[in-house]
Amino acid sequence: MAVNNAYQAYQQNSVTQSSPGELTLMLYNGCLKFLNQAKKGIEENNIELKNTNLQKAQNIIRELIVTLDMSIPVSESMYSLYDYMLNRLITANIQNDSEMVDEVIGYTMEFRDTWKQVIQINRQKQYGSTGEI
């Protein structure tokens, strides 16, 4: 029990002490975790595992959508891609299609990897270090 409480405290601190960029990175990583679990659910014909994790991934994508700053031109393109990803996950859930999940995993990995580079560049500018994540 004490180990769980320590882990929960660590998780809470990592969220509350993270920058907005780091929080976004956590969302991408969480989304990938849920997508991989959903894919496992499809492969094992475990409807509950698939559905629960696809819904969690969809909720993360919805959160990414609502946090877009639409005054920035690239946000329109990101909105379109997020919306596409969301629709693919809904269809993947209905059709038990792991290829659609793989497609969304690919997009999510690209977003995550790009976001990691942005954070590293910002850290280099701010602190003059490599800013490895």
pLDDT of residue 7: 46
User: First vs last Cα of the chain: how many Å apart?
Assistant: 30
Residue 15 tokens read as 């969220």
Residue-wise pLDDT tens digits, 61-79: 999 999 999 999 999 999 9
User: What structural domains does the chain harbor?
Assistant: 19-127 (1.20.120.340)
> For residue 132, what is the DSSP state?
-
- Residue 78 CA: distances (Å) to CA of 42, 103, 113: 27, 16, 15
pLDDT of residue 37: 98
Provide mean pLDDT across the span 41-53. 98
